[in-house]
Amino acid sequence: MATEKKKNEGKSQIVISFEDVDPIEVLGVHNTRLALIQNAFPNIKIVSRGNKIKISGSKEEVRKLRSRIEKILDHIRRYGYITDNVMRGLLSRSEGIEEIINPYGEDVLVVGPGGHVVKPRTENQRRIVEAVEDNDIVFAIGPAGTGKTYTAVALAVRALQNKQVKRIILTRPAVEAGESLGYLPGTLEEKVEPYLRPLYDALFDMLPAEKVNVYIEQRVIEIAPLAYMRGRTLDKAFIILDEAQNATLPQLKMFLTRLGPEAKTIITGDLTQVDLPQKHTSGLATTIRILKDIEGIDVVYLDRSDVIRHPLVGKIIRAFESLEEQEKNVENAQKHEKDKKRDEKGEPN
């Protein structure tokens, strides 16, 4: 936001510009919200044009209105939109109170298009939020549907809106393409888009589509396969490595050693859903084991109690877990029987 000032013996005139905010959110359809501002400050002359508001009046009144408009703009940047009631509240606030009104509850991370509220909905999702506040690297591990990726993207969007980072980097191992994408037709974005679609879906839930597209064009938001992180330093960014169970140990080492001094990262994965070819081994479990006790790194485990998809998803997960347990028991029993026969024959195990 930029301001231009002109002064004249007790009078003041400033121009407030807000290029990063939709003017309709500030001024309202047919200037209905501009009328709210005018009614709150009847002695101020207010003129709007595009993404600029010019206000003229006494120095004290102009100072007060400028402060209120800054709070309105901060609210819109943080939550994506503002209601008339919240705007009235911000316009009438007493001086010295710096907090922005939060009508959505303290645990809300992002308010997306149309007032879509994104917040942690389970205890373990709340643990992810707390872990990110206290650590620069957080592993969020759990089965499908537990909201680990969605929560991670919401935290990244919040950090960007609050100007805690300058960009968001979202990455996944492109397992289905074997991380070898050169033979596929199209641009890099077109080649990897199918593998990164869940990350796009989460972003469009939390930001207006046009803003997502602008951010991607300006490289404020970058979505790329894990292989393209090699050789880079990722700083002043919130980075999410999704589906990390499909990354090998060398790939995870490569990723984690890219982080700059002002970066935060969340690494999500499901240790039960590895899609790597047989000749490759997931490095996620080993990475967690060797890093979990390092200060600044935390691990949050989610389970089927955190599933927030269709109610049947939780039952499906339990059914597969039961099948896997049965298969493991059969495998152990077969191994035990083979060992027993070897012992009877005097053969070494």
pLDDT tens-digit series, residues 109-139? 888 877 788 889 899 999 999 999 999 999 9
CATH of domain 110-309: 3.40.50.300
pLDDT over 70, % of the chain: 86
Looking at 25-29, 182-186, 202-206, 257-261, which range is the least confident one? 182-186
* Farthest-apart Cα atoms in the chain, separation: 107
Q: Where are the domains of the chain?
A: 2-91, 110-309, 311-349
Do 267 and 139 touch, CB atoms closer than 8 A? yes
Looking at 77-86, 95-104, 279-288, which range is the least confident one? 95-104
pLDDT above 80 for 317: no
User: pLDDT, tens digit, for every residue of 38-74?
Assistant: 999 999 999 998 889 999 999 999 999 999 999 888 8
User: pLDDT, tens digit, for every residue of 180-237?
Assistant: 555 555 666 666 667 678 888 999 999 888 888 889 999 999 988 888 888 888 899 9
Among candidate residues 244, 222, 80, 92, the one with its CA nearest the CA of residue 162: 80
Alpha helices in 162-298 (DSSP H): 188-206, 209-217, 249-256, 284-291
Mean pLDDT, residues 276-288 taken together = 87
Looking at 54-68, 91-105, 152-166, which range is the least confident one? 91-105
> In this predicted structure, what is the pLDDT of residue 179?
46
Mean pLDDT, residues 13-37 taken together = 88
Q: How confident is the model at residue 25 (pLDDT cuts 50, 70, 90)?
A: confident
Distance between start and end Cα atoms, the chain: 73
pLDDT above 80 for 173: yes
Q: How confident is the model at residue 312 (pLDDT cuts 50, 70, 90)?
A: confident
> In this predicted structure, what is the pLDDT of residue 66?
92
pLDDT above 80 for 9: no
Alpha-carbon span 84 to 104, nearest angstrom: 14
E strand spans, 35-81: 45-49, 52-58
> In this predicted structure, what is the pLDDT of residue 96?
39
Quick one: tokens of 315?
Answer: 């039952």
E strand spans, 39-119: 45-49, 52-58, 110-111, 117-118
Which CATH superfamily includes the segment(s) 2-91? K Homology domain, type 1 (3.30.1370.10)
Q: How confident is the model at residue 177 (pLDDT cuts 50, 70, 90)?
A: very low
Mean pLDDT, residues 76-90 taken together = 79
pLDDT above 60 for 327: yes
> In this predicted structure, what is the pLDDT of residue 77?
78
> In this predicted structure, what is the pLDDT of residue 180?
52
> In this predicted structure, what is the pLDDT of residue 98?
44
3-state secondary structure of 236: coil
The whole-model pTM stands at: 0.68
Q: How confident is the model at residue 97 (pLDDT cuts 50, 70, 90)?
A: very low
The sign of the torsion formed by the CA atoms of 200, 203, 205, 209 equals negative
Strand 11-17 to 52-58 pairing: antiparallel
> In this predicted structure, what is the pLDDT of residue 11?
85
- CA 283-286-290 angle, 5° bins: 135
Average pLDDT in the chain: 84
